Amino acid sequence: MADNQYKKYPKGTSYRARMQRKKNHIDSRIQEANIDKGIIVLLTGNGKGKSSSSLGMVCRALGYNMQVGIAKFLKGMQDTGEDAFLAKQPNVQTAFMKTGFTWDTQDKEYDTAMAVETWSKAQGYLKDKSIDLVVLDELTYMISYKYLDEQMILDALNNRPKNQHVVITGRAASKSLIDIADTVSEVKDIKHAFRANIKAQKGVDL
């Protein structure tokens, strides 16, 4: 990709001229991007970095004193470093589906009930104008496991306050989620320490 970028310039074009052209292009794109609205960011794919990226956005929002609502679906029983951190943040509300992983509970009815309960809190965030950023962590599985109705989720996203941002994480996002999102990134799994038998590390994985 970087190669193509450089190929655009005729051979011999000076560094300064190339950078000036680049600057003109970037400046004009920045000027065109003048719409201010709440966006949906969808982070999917099999690689590590989806939930932790959503927490990066939470940090950004808190830095501006914004209000944040976080619903963690499929949270698992183990507390993470961020749970301890978030509990101390006055501008953060949380809803945890603390049921353990589905392969541990092996009880679809119970998991569905827990998903519905967590969703009702998430839906509250999506109706609340005072919440600036909503994180719906691991939401994609609620759709793929059919714990939650997809149309109900799409309606709640569509009807949320105009300036509210939403971050959705989870593998194998559905086409409808990809369609409704404004920004979609797929994290690709190239290598993961776990496959070299390194256990989940505090501060990095949990």
Binding site for ligand ATP (CB under 6 A): 46-52, 138, 169, 171, 187, 189, 192, 194, 200, 205-206
CB 142 within 8 A of CB 114: no
Q: Does 80 bind Mg ion (CB under 5 A)?
A: no
Return the ∠ at Cα 86 (arms to 81 and 90), rounded to 5°: 160
* Burial class (CB within 10 angstroms; exposed 0-12, middle 13-18, buried 19+) of 76: middle
To the nearest whole angstrom, how small is the minimum distance from the Cβ of residue 138 to Mg ion?
6
CB 118 within 8 A of CB 126: no
154 contacts which partner out of ligand ATP, Mg ion, none, CB within 5 to 8 A by kind? none
Select 51 or 123, whichever has its Cβ closest to Mg ion. 51
Q: Which of 124, 65, 57 is nearest to 94 (CA)?
A: 124
Position 62: which residue type? L
CA dihedral (98, 101, 102, 103) positive or negative:
negative
Query: Cα–Cα distance between 50 and 168 in angstroms, integer?
Result: 9
**Shortest Å distance, C-beta 39 to ligand ATP:** 20
Toward Mg ion, which CB reaches closer, 46 or 106?
Answer: 46
Shortest CB 171 distance to ligand ATP, Å: 6
Name the binder of 179 from ligand ATP, Mg ion, none, CB < 5-8 A by kind. Answer: none
**Looking at beta carbons only, is 16 or 199 nearer to ligand ATP?**
199
Binding-residue total with Mg ion (CB under 5 A): 2
Q: How many CB atoms lie within 10 A of CB 96?
A: 18
- Within positions 43 to 62, which residues make up the interface with Mg ion, using CB under 5 A? 50-51
**Is residue 140 at the binding interface for Mg ion, with CB under 5 A as the rule?**
no
- CB closer to ligand ATP out of 9 and 174: 174
| Least distance CB 206 / ligand ATP (angstroms) | 5
Give the containing element (helix H, strand E) for 44.
strand 40-44
**Interacting residues with Mg ion (CB under 5 A):** 50-51
